[in-house]
Amino acid sequence: MHESSRLYKEKVKAYHDKKLLMKDFRPGQRVLLFNSRLKLFPGKLKSKWSGPFTIKEVKPYGAVELFDSHSETPDKTWIVNGQRLKLYHGGNIERLAIIMQLQDP
């Protein structure tokens, strides 16, 4: 029983590790930040990606220092985990909004 469980776990781990992609970020790149703590307006249609932000510095072990170039205080930076970032390829980030007109029956 324990042998089959161990083999299963090894296979699942190998499959998962094969799907992981190494992200190589460099200073000056524009990225989007995944906001997993977005609890203000819960809803399925709200995007959890915010940004774009600019990378100021890449620290060891996957930490990345970001700053917002459109902010009033451009000297304010913060450090996030690189796993929460993805490259921004340009264009507008559109939010889906639906407006429904209701009528009395």
The per-residue pLDDT for 83 is 85
SS3 71: coil
Which residue, 18, 13, 48, is CA-closest to 33? 48
Identify whether the C-beta of residue 58 lies closer than 8 Å to the C-beta of residue 77.
Answer: no
Strand partners, 63: 81
The per-residue pLDDT for 49 is 78
Print pLDDT tens along the chain (105 aa): 688 899 999 999 999 888 877 788 899 999 988 877 656 556 665 667 787 889 999 998 889 999 887 776 667 888 998 888 988 887 765 555 566 677 777
Name all domains of the chain by residue range, CATH numbers in brackets. 23-99 (2.30.30)
Q: Determine the Cα–Cα distance for residues 87 and 7; give it in Å rounded to an integer.
A: 36
The per-residue pLDDT for 57 is 92
Identify whether the C-beta of residue 55 lies closer than 8 Å to the C-beta of residue 28.
Answer: yes
